[in-house]
Amino acid sequence: MVSKVLICGFGAFGELHATAWRRLDPAIKLMVADPAERARSRALQLGIAPNDIAPDPTALLNSADIVDIVAPPAFHMALALQALAVGKPVMIEKPAVETVADARALLEAAGDLPVQVGLVLRAHPLVSEAARLMAEGEIGELLAMDGDFSGWKRMRADSSLLENDGVHFLDLMRHFAGAPAIEVEARSWSLLDAAVADDITIEISFIGGVRGRLRLGVLIAGEAEDAFVPGAVTTKRLTLVGRTGNIAIDFNRNTLTTSTVSYTRSSGGHDVQPQSIASNLALGATPEALLARSFAIFCDALRAGTPVMCDARQGALELAATLAAVNAELDAETRRPSRIQGDLL
């Protein structure tokens, strides 16, 4: 039974984690490790006992049942290794690691200890609903996925568009594909400032043949207020493209739209005959609720040996390899565009 959780990192998202833990089980005792005095003072204001607050996790580790790492990404690996070394199950916020080598080291250090990567959209009820609909053949064979995770939202100093936003949909694509990614292509624009990629398009292929396409960026206004980032206006939509329809999940509006269609080969290519459109609304799918659900999945894994929400192989190793491939593509954008014939202009 989980009775003590050590939260490493107590900025705004660390506070949200504390709220979600208390929502899951008010009896859980929270501890906080953060080098910033302001963060430790905030933990004290929120009712965490003075003896359970420290600038460094060392003195608190032995008392913890779970270590919840919400520090900036550069500190994830060191904190995870420190916790795993004393036999503590670990939850790590995304991006879990910075390199493929770090991911391999994390897997080796974990051994049989549960490690869950905090790709929280996997806990969304509409993700489960989409998986159910696909299993029942609602849209036929999965052919592709199309994602748009963009909008007017601050760009973080400690992680890129890929690491902060892209990982969520790259992970969901891998989740729905049911297989690892094997190939990527990526292109970017730098329109606001030549030194900063402000719009990125990624195409990705998975074992088994499913394709994915993802757009990230800050140039185009989003469609709704972002629940996770106050003041941001974003689009967060993932569409599963099947042979006989689509399932579109809007993570800002918490809606799922299922559309069915029939295609008939014709002289012009395909005759397209729409069949039906139906929408579902998920009530109460707030960031706090999703986090609490992800924590419940981890606690179940500790108690009953069930799978964690997103394990370190998928959430750290595979994702780090995918990000490395995307970054290599973006760094090597040297292919020359085809020129339009001058006499046509």
Give the tens place of pLDDT for each residue, 24-46: 999 999 999 999 999 999 999 99
Residue range 277-300: mean pLDDT, rounded: 97
Arithmetic mean of pLDDT, 61-69: 97
Question: pLDDT band for position 127 (50/70/90)?
Answer: very high
pLDDT of residue 110: 97
Residue 145 Cα to chain centre, angstroms: 16
Strand intervals (E) in 267-332? 269-281
- Residue range(s) in the chain whose domain bears CATH number 3.30.360.10: 125-284
pLDDT-above-70 percentage for the chain: 96
Q: How far is CA 331 from CA 24, 73, 264, in A?
A: 43, 22, 42
Please check the confidence at residue 336 and state whether its pLDDT lies above 60: no
What is the distance between the alpha carbons of residues 56 and 34, in angstroms, rounded to a whole number? Answer: 6
51 versus 2: the higher-pLDDT residue is 51
Provide the β-strand partners of residue 188.
200
Q: What is the pLDDT of residue 156?
A: 87
Residue found by looking up tokens 């993700």 in the block: 127
DSSP letter assigned to residue 223: S
pLDDT at 339: 58
| Res 35: pLDDT | 97
Task: Give the separation between CA 301 and CA 86, rounded to whole angstroms.
Answer: 19
Sign of the C-alpha dihedral computed for residues 162, 166, 172 and 174 taken in this order: negative
CATH superfamily of 4-121+291-323: NAD(P)-binding Rossmann-like Domain (3.40.50.720)
**144 to 141, 148, 247, 336: CA distances (angstroms):** 9, 14, 11, 27
- Range list for CATH 3.40.50.720 in the chain: 4-121+291-323
- Whether 344 has a pLDDT exceeding 50, the answer reads no
Please provide the average confidence, as pLDDT, over all residues in the chain.
95
153 by Cβ neighbours in 10 Å (0-12 / 13-18 / 19+) ranks as buried
Q: Looking at residue 338, what is its pLDDT?
A: 53
Instruction: Convert the pLDDT of each residue in 133-165 to its tens digit.
Output: 999 999 999 999 999 999 999 998 888 899 999
Query: Which residue in 144, 166, 180 sits closest to 330, CA to CA?
Result: 166
Torsion region of 152: left, alpha or beta (phi above 0 gives left; psi -120 to 50 gives alpha): beta
Q: What percent of the chain has pLDDT over 90?
A: 92
Q: pTM (2 decimals)?
A: 0.94
Higher pLDDT, 37 or 331: 37
Pick the CATH number of 125-284 from 3.40.920.10, 1.10.10.10, 3.30.360.10, 3.90.170.10: 3.30.360.10
Q: What are the tens digits of pLDDT across the range 314-329?
A: 999 999 999 999 999 9
- Average pLDDT of span 104-119: 97
Angle between helix 125-135 and 167-177 (nearest 10): 30
DSSP state, 76? H
Strand partners, 239: 146, 248
pLDDT (average), residues 243-263? 97
Confidence at residue 76, expressed as pLDDT on a 0 to 100 scale: 97
